[in-house]
Structure 1
Amino acid sequence: MQDLVRLIVKYATAIYVICGLLLIPFLGAFQKARLDRRSIFPLEKENATKRLRHSLVGIALLLGIAGGIYYISSYVEPTIVEVDETPTSTPTISILFATPTNSPAPPTETPEITPTATRRPRPTPQATAEPTDTPTPEIVLPNCPNPGVRIVSPGVNSVLNGTVEIRGSAIIDNFGYYKFEFQSLSIADEWHHVYTGEQAVSAGVLGYWSVDPLPAGEYLFQLVVVDATGNYPPPCQVRVTIEH
């Protein structure tokens, strides 16, 4: 279905031109039939009426085709959601081999030394400083009202570097898939795809985002959860800062 829609949109201009060319003879026949209906002869009047009906049917059919192409191009094609195919990662199994180590030689007996009792000085007590607890920065959660489309880490205005673990929830009715996207706030930018997940997640690890290739600056990161029909609720977005 998607391939057919794209094919129609691709050749929409050519279809419009063809419909316009075919419409010209129908309009000419329509005008001539209208003039012939003024004839005083009943037989010519009847033939003109038939040709008038045929012309109207042809005009209506061509206008319907052109209208259908316009509707598909303007309303149907934009709603098609591109589903990024992501390769399924095959887990690798690491086999650990024990490295043999040399057995230590038995300890050599040493002669006992009888200690001489000596008077030990009494230690002077010293005041020890109590450690000061460093406050842990509080994570500010983004304002995402849908509990099934939520990011809990990273928080708002978090400073990111390296590989970032994305935690939250991606679980809605008739679940299809979820994806990560980001957009630079430093320049005029579009959304860039990061990752697509095919399993619903409830309050867990959604995936990872490597920010090393990106230049430092402010970004907008969002989670989009799509159902099986291609529809999706409002995404959950969080503003972050990348530093290297």
Structure 2
Amino acid sequence: MDQFYVFILRNDVWIYIVSALGLFWYISQFIRAQRQLRVAIFNLERETNTQTRNTALIVIVILAGIIGGVYYVNTRIAPTLPPTLLRDPTPTPDIFRTPLSSPTPLLTRQPTSTPPLVPTITLAGNPGEPAPNPAEETTPVETATAVGTPLPPPTPSVGCTLQLNIIEPRNGSVVAGTITFNGTANFEDFGYYTLEANGPQTGGQWASLLGRNIEQSVQDGFLGSVNLSQWDSGPYLIRLSAADQALNIIAQCVIQVTLQQ
């Protein structure tokens, strides 16, 4: 049902125009048939004009109902719909066809790479027992996380503020497959924002994740999504950049995530 409302909201202008033209035509038909019915002499002529008048009246009622229904959806239903339904869908870009750009320095701080996550080694329970072979007793990262062993600390986020930040995924989190980015990109002189990644798949260069500049500001909401199921595993830097109306980059927020396949 929500999709029906979205269809009406996106095509309400054309529905109004077509309905108004139909109303104009059938109202004229109704008036013409009514006039001819008053001066009709023969029964056949009266029956024809009566049928024309009744048909025009029915269509007038239907078109008026359509116009009223569209107006009701715009004024009463539209404010209750989730904002994500009214937003244009974000296409999933083809990362391998996106031209890569050279890394851009972030103010005076440069993000440092974090070494790949290493497995946790289980030591012997008693001092007298020999330590087990690390190659045989290595605990996977998932198991270590489940029992409470902390992961290596991520690179601290760089340049993130209340006006520009990535809320999800969090800095230092482990992601896989299709990743949804949520956060904030909202300034007074906002022009557009972009999402880029730098890691094993990009060869040390920044690659656009969305394939285009997003010219709509976001406040604690959906920034975009991308399918990285074909990318190499490892640590990646995610950079959210914002530009002003003059298309100048005014702020950048960088976090680190670890991609696992």
Structure 1 length normalisation: TM-score? 0.41
Quick check: which one's helix share is greater?
A: 2
